Structure formats: structure tokens, C-alpha cells
Chains A and B, each alone.
Chain A
Amino acid sequence: MAQTVAQRPTFSPWTDPDAVPLIRFEAVSKRFGDFVAVDQVDLSIHAGEFFSLLGASGCGKTTLLRMLAGFETPTSGRIFIDGTDVSAIPPYERPVNMMFQSYALFPHMTVEQNVAFGLKQDGVPKPRIREKVRDVLDLVQMSRFGGRKPHQLSGGQRQRVALARCLAKEPKVLLLDEPLAALDRQLRERTQLELVGIQERVGITFVMVTHDQGEAMTMSSRIAVMNSGCLEQVGTPVEIYEYPGTRFVADFIGAANMFEGVVASDNHDLLVVTCPELERDLSISHSGSVPVGAPVTVMVRPEKMVVQRESPSETMNGVKGVVADIAYLGDVSIYHIALPSGRRVEVLRTNLRHTGEQELTWEDEVHLAWHPANAMVLTR
């Protein structure tokens, strides 16, 4: 078992300096009147990636996607697909296909006609169209519904047809605009993995827009986190979560406890930060080079802390507090610990015991502890 894992080739063309990206944004900006939707974005996406643009609504992620599809033209900057500058190429001549958030299935056509539509535009011979339509409908498990009209399908089925319609054209890039937003939670989680499976099978580069960080983390090879038109950070799900580059990313992806402070000293691999909110200094590894005296933010994820009655060992960071609130979620509970300064800290604990009774309860005096390697120092 361990061997198979070790033998699996790691897919990370973005780490190879010689690799030529399939899609390249070069200083792309888009303004609507006074509003800057996309601001000087530089971005490279490699062939075979499942790339996600993640951000809150209005952050410019959809505009970026629509520029790739050709529905919007950049105000400045250039976009390359497979080495060609596509800025002046209309959508109907681009080697990309988009799956719309509303699915945009043609209501007057059957499922088969919808899927065949793009192929017919390309003048593909009829027998070949029939074959291709059957293949992609098989791929998305919709072969039985070929004769139905979209209004006779459920939301999940429509989503599959929309995907099949894009896949039929075998584009170089498939763009997905919030592909799962209209599905209910259970179906969405199942479809996430299915979509990744299909992407791996067909080998087409997927670029997805989503506001759902869980979706982005589950499905993507890399994620670009966007905030008010700018790229905050581009990285693998692990990089984005464990090593957020900015306070915004740390806060947007998952939950984070952040303590403002000032760098007190830097001895080799341990950075010591003084936080006015805390009684004692914090030590953090992974420090990079931060000058002494610089204002920084120390970020600790809730699941990287331990909450316990005993005081922690000297090598650990520790703070005292009182259990103020417990959010019981079944598998885990989130403990809200009130520090003496009044500051609240979130800690995640797996509910290991079967009974509802946990060892910690409201008003208990506890210690929070975490290893210096489990915290991050953010300067931006």
C-alpha cells in the first residue's frame, strides 16, 4: 500500500521552471466604468491542472473566467492560451468551453441535441457526432436521458448534461462557473469527487470559479485566492491552508486565531513575538527573515492547538483561559476559550468518546498549547 503511494507520480508542473504554461495572464486588468473588477493579474495555469479561482462574491473571479472564455475583453494586459494571444479572438473561435452557473441548456432541444450542438457548429460529420454524443453521455452517466428536454431533468442531471455538452467539444480548457452551486449539499459532495474523476480521465485542463473553499480544497490541484480584483495567493490546497501568505488568506481559508504582536528576537529557527493580548511571548518556527521590532500577526489554526487541564511543557506555547462556549458538531466540538485579556480563541477537538459527556465543560479553567512549528507569522 505504502509502495503504491510512493510510486504515484506527483503532478506539479508549476514547480518546473522549464514547463510552459497552457494559460497565461499578463498584467490583465478589467474596469467597468470606475470599478476595477480585475487589477493587474499575472497568472499561469498548466495543462492538466484542475485550477480554482476562489474568492468572495465581487472579487473578480468570474470576470477573470469570462475574459478567458471571451465574453469580456481585458481593459489592459494580454491573455495567452497555448501560446496564442486570444485577447482579440471572439468566444466562438476560442479553444475553450464554459459550463455556466445556470447551465444554460437550450430549453427547446433534447439532451442529445444540446450535447451535439457544439459539434454541429464545427461541421463534424453526423455519424461521428452520434458516436461522440453517446460517449460523453456515457461518461456522465446520462445515456438513458438522451431524448429528454432539460425541463424534464433534475438539477443534478442538468449539471451532467451541461458538463457533457462542454466535454463533447474536447476543448483545451474547460471553464466551470460555480458548477455545483445549484446542487444540494449531499449531491454536491458526491459530484465534487466525480468531477475530479472525469477531469483525470479526459485529461482536459479545468479552471473553476467557486466561492466555496471546501469545494476548492477538495477538487483543485492549485487554488488562486482573489480579493477585490487582485490575486492574494496562488498555491496548492496544502500551501494555501498551512502556509497562507497574507492575513486575508489565513482568515478566508478555514478558521484562524490571529494574535497581533511585535518581533522581540530571532534566534536561528525560533522567532519570538510579544503579543499585548497574551501574558507570555510566543515562539514560532518557519520564520523566514523578519526584522526585530516589525509588527506581525501570529496565526494558529484551531485544530493545531490542544486544550488541556495541565499546563504544557516549556517547549510548547501555552496560554491560560476559561471555557466560554462549546459548539458541538458531532464529530468535533469547537471550544471557545476566553483569555484573561477578554480575547476569545477557537480550539477544535475531536469527540473521541462515544457518550455526549466530554471531559471539558463550561467554566473549566484550561490551558491552550501548541508547538512552535504549528503557528505561522504573517507580515502582510
Chain B
Amino acid sequence: MTALDRAVRRWGRLLVGLPPYAWLVVFFLVPFLIVIKISLSQAIMGIPPYTPLLEWGEDAVLTIRIALGSFGTLFGDELYAFAYLNSLRLAAIATFCCLLLGYPAAYAIARSSHSVRNLLLLLVALPFWTSFLIRVYAWIGILKTEGLLNGLLLWLGVIDTPLQILETDLAVLIGMVYSYLPFMVLPLFATLEKMDMSLLEAAADLGCRPFQAFISVTLPLSMPGIVAGSLLVFIPAVGEFVIPDLLGGPDTLMIGKILWAEFFDNRDWPVASAVAVAMLVLLVVPVMIFQRLQGQATEGTR
């Protein structure tokens, strides 16, 4: 192979990998930098509704004006801290419920025969064929006071008066668990499916009862799947806006809703941007550290 060939090959490889990164730079990194910029400005009446960060003053003096007032607001008003913690709480519960429901499902799919397996996987992915928004709207019909669920419970005689489920945190949880369950099942299936079954036989051979074998072999070996699935559910659930907006009530405080309110109701772009930046920092940084530790802990489990 000549040097030219090698160069072509190296650049070719780079070129193929480039488009998605270029896409992310243009449509994620640049807008995010703009959001950071806005978060460091002050709200004014006008278009755009915030002060510029850089300004050419008289005598060609470049003025950089950084206002930390928006972040001050976040720390000053406990509404934000409360909304943030509530988002974390709801997302954590939703993630845990997804794990509880998704693990047995993924396990069953991974152990099913090859002919049934593809059908089961298709069923898990089936909801994606309908719009997310429409599916969340459908839950309103199920959960509302005179909805399907209450109708069924009344008919069965389990309850006498309809339950108030819609416009509560419970409705938001149901909606989130429903929407994000496939994101838990699929990565779990992927790890469980490639697990060497002879490991379970070895555990049994060494005197391990089936449940104990699950705890000491299957569960630790499926940790990468548990982590991947949990992150795929937890991260979008924290910032979720549509589900709390449609299914939650006025008391459902979630950071996504706050962000929306600051942006569109208060027209306070700097504070809205500060909320977005704070959410990213508070969410992504711990997650990255966690994943790094996890990566070290599960090293060598393939």
C-alpha cells in the first residue's frame, strides 16, 4: 500500500464519520452555545428580548456584558429547585417502574425461541408506529374522570366514585412509564440475549439455586443493559414537557414546564435559557461520571 493509498483511506474514514458530527455541531452545539449566551444576558422589552453579550461601543471599544442575574434567580426562587427535584423524583420513579416491568419482559424475549422472538420484539417497537403526541392524548381518554379506566373500575365495583387520576403526578408517571418502556426493554434484551447460558448451568452445578443464580450471575452481567436502559429513560424523562403538560395538573411542577412558562408566558428568555443550561449541567455531568465508573466496574464482562 502506498502512502497515498493510506492517506486516502484515513481521510475517507474521517469523511464517512463526519456528517453526523457536523449535523450535531450545527444543530446542537451551536444552538446550545446561543442558549448559553442568552442565559448570560438580561431581559429587556424589544426584539430580541435580551441584551447583547458583545457590544461595539463608541471609539471601537468592545464591551462584554455578562449578567449572572438569571442564574441568581434560579438559586433565589425555591420554585426552580423544587421543580428540578420533582422532575428528578418523577423521572427516577418512572425509570424504576420501567426497569421493574421491562426486565422480566426483556428476559422472557431473550429466552424465547427464535421464531417467537422477532414477533415479540416487533410488538415492543409497535407503539413507535403511531405519533407520540397522539398516544399521550389517548391516555387522557383513558385516565379522565369519566374515562375508560374509571368506567371499568366502576363497572367491576372496585370503586364507588371515579378516581381523580388525570392532572396528578400519577398520570404523569403512567404516561412516562408507558412512553419510555421500549427504551428500557430493547437495551436489556440486547445484553440478556448474548449472555452465555452455560454460565447459569455452571452456577447451578456449583450449588446455586435458580434465584440465587439470577442474583449473582444474570443480574450483574446485565448491568450494562440496566444502565443503558435507565439512562435512555431517565434523561428524557427529567426534561419531559409534553407528558406533564397534557396529563399533569397545574400542581405538577416539572423543569420542562417551568422552561416553557419562562419562555412563552413570561417572555424571560435569559431565565429560560439559564434553566436549560442548569438542567444540562446538573443532569449530564453526574450521568457522565456515573457511566465512566460503571464502565470501569463492568470491564471485561464483554
Task: Decide whether A and B assemble into one complex.
Answer: yes
Interface pick from B92-100, B156-164, B197-205: B197-205
Asked if B13 CB lies within 8 Å of chain A CBs, one says: no
Taking a contact as CB atoms under 8 Å apart, the answer to whether B209 and A92 are in contact is yes
Asked if A121 CB lies within 8 Å of chain B CBs, one says: yes
CA distance A242 to B205 in the complex (A): 37
Asked if B54 CB lies within 8 Å of chain A CBs, one says: no
CA distance A169 to B141 in the complex (A): 60
Q: How far is the CB of A85 from chain B (nearest CB, A)?
A: 19
Q: Which residue of A lies closest to B206 (CB)?
A: A118
Neighbour of A90 across the interface among B199, B204, B301, CB < 8 A: B204
Taking a contact as CB atoms under 8 Å apart, the answer to whether A102 and B196 are in contact is yes
Taking a contact as CB atoms under 8 Å apart, the answer to whether B202 and A121 are in contact is no
Name the B residues within 8 Å of A105 (CB-CB): 202
Take A100-B198, A108-B220, A108-B221 as given contacts and tell me if A118 and B301 are in contact as well, using a CB distance cutoff of 8 Å: no
Taking a contact as CB atoms under 8 Å apart, the answer to whether A92 and B300 are in contact is no
CA distance A90 to B205 in the complex (A): 9
Name the B residues within 8 Å of A150 (CB-CB): 300
Neighbour of B300 across the interface among A104, A118, A152, CB < 8 A: A152
Taking a contact as CB atoms under 8 Å apart, the answer to whether B300 and A149 are in contact is yes
Taking a contact as CB atoms under 8 Å apart, the answer to whether B198 and A91 are in contact is no
Name the B residues within 8 Å of A71 (CB-CB): 201, 204
Which residues A103-126 have CB closer than 8 A to chain B? 104-108, 117-118, 121-122
Taking a contact as CB atoms under 8 Å apart, the answer to whether B302 and A121 are in contact is no
Taking a contact as CB atoms under 8 Å apart, the answer to whether B207 and A169 are in contact is yes
Q: Which residue of B lies closest to A102 (CB)?
A: B198
Taking a contact as CB atoms under 8 Å apart, the answer to whether B207 and A107 are in contact is no
Q: How far is the CB of B66 from chain A (nearest CB, A)?
A: 48
Asked if B208 CB lies within 8 Å of chain A CBs, one says: yes
Neighbour of B301 across the interface among A107, A121, A122, A152, CB < 8 A: A107
> Chain B's interface: helix, strand, loop or mixed, by majority?
helix
How many residue pairs at the A-B interface have CB separations less than 8 Å?
68
Neighbour of A121 across the interface among B206, B221, B298, CB < 8 A: B206
Name the B residues within 8 Å of A96 (CB-CB): 205
User: Which of B206, B300, B302 has the largest number of chain A CB atoms within 10 A?
Assistant: B206
Q: How far is the CB of B55 from chain A (nearest CB, A)?
A: 58
Neighbour of A106 across the interface among B199, B205, B209, CB < 8 A: B199
Taking a contact as CB atoms under 8 Å apart, the answer to whether B205 and A97 are in contact is yes
Asked if B299 CB lies within 8 Å of chain A CBs, one says: yes
Asked if A151 CB lies within 8 Å of chain B CBs, one says: yes
Name the A residues within 8 Å of B119 (CB-CB): none
Neighbour of A104 across the interface among B202, B212, B221, CB < 8 A: B202
Take A104-B201, A106-B217, A108-B221 as given contacts and tell me if A121 and B207 are in contact as well, using a CB distance cutoff of 8 Å: yes
Q: How far is the CB of A72 from chain B (nearest CB, A)?
A: 11
Asked if A299 CB lies within 8 Å of chain B CBs, one says: no
Asked if A98 CB lies within 8 Å of chain B CBs, one says: yes
User: Which of B205, B208, B223, B301 has the largest number of chain A CB atoms within 10 A?
Assistant: B205
Count contacts on A: residues with CB < 8 A to the other chain.
Answer: 27
Q: Mark B270-302, 1 if CB is under 8 A from A, else 0.
A: 000000000000000000000000000011111
Taking a contact as CB atoms under 8 Å apart, the answer to whether B221 and A107 are in contact is yes
Taking a contact as CB atoms under 8 Å apart, the answer to whether B204 and A100 are in contact is no
Q: How large is the interface on B (under 10, 10 to 19, 20 to 34, 35 or more residues)?
A: 20 to 34
Which residues B21-50 have CB closer than 8 A to chain A? none
Q: Mark B174-192, 1 if CB is under 8 A from A, else 0.
A: 0000000000000000000
Taking a contact as CB atoms under 8 Å apart, the answer to whether A151 and B300 are in contact is yes
CA distance A118 to B300 in the complex (A): 21
Taking a contact as CB atoms under 8 Å apart, the answer to whether B206 and A107 are in contact is no
Asked if A258 CB lies within 8 Å of chain B CBs, one says: no
Which residues B205-239 have CB closer than 8 A to chain A? 205-209, 212, 216-217, 220-221, 223
Q: Mark A133-167, 1 if CB is under 8 A from B, else 0.
A: 00000000000000001111000000000000100
CA distance A71 to B298 in the complex (A): 29
Name the A residues within 8 Å of B205 (CB-CB): 69-70, 91-92, 96-98
Take A92-B205, A108-B221 as given contacts and tell me if A121 and B300 are in contact as well, using a CB distance cutoff of 8 Å: no
User: Which of A71, A100, A106, A151 has the largest number of chain B CB atoms within 10 A?
Assistant: A106
Taking a contact as CB atoms under 8 Å apart, the answer to whether B201 and A108 are in contact is no
Q: How far is the CB of A7 from chain B (nearest CB, A)?
A: 39
CA distance A151 to B221 in the complex (A): 14
Name the A residues within 8 Å of B202 (CB-CB): 98, 100, 104-106
Taking a contact as CB atoms under 8 Å apart, the answer to whether B199 and A121 are in contact is no
Taking a contact as CB atoms under 8 Å apart, the answer to whether A92 and B207 are in contact is yes
CA distance A112 to B300 in the complex (A): 16
CA distance A107 to B220 in the complex (A): 10
Taking a contact as CB atoms under 8 Å apart, the answer to whether B206 and A169 are in contact is yes
Taking a contact as CB atoms under 8 Å apart, the answer to whether A104 and B301 are in contact is no
Neighbour of A107 across the interface among B208, B216, B300, CB < 8 A: B300
Taking a contact as CB atoms under 8 Å apart, the answer to whether B198 and A104 are in contact is yes
CA distance A150 to B301 in the complex (A): 9
Q: Which residue of B lies closest to A169 (CB)?
A: B206
Neighbour of A97 across the interface among B206, B217, B301, CB < 8 A: B206
Name the A residues within 8 Å of B199 (CB-CB): 104, 106
A-B contacts, 18 listed (Cβ < 8 Å): A69-B201, A70-B204, A71-B201, A90-B204, A91-B201, A91-B204, A97-B205, A98-B202, A102-B196, A104-B201, A107-B300, A108-B223, A108-B298, A117-B203, A117-B208, A118-B206, A151-B300, A151-B302
Which 9 pairs show the lowest CB-CB distances between chains A and B? A118-B206, A121-B207, A104-B202, A151-B300, A104-B198, A91-B204, A149-B300, A107-B301, A108-B220
Given contacts A71-B201, A91-B204, A117-B203, 6 further A-B contacts (CB under 8 A): A97-B206, A106-B202, A108-B220, A117-B206, A118-B206, A151-B302
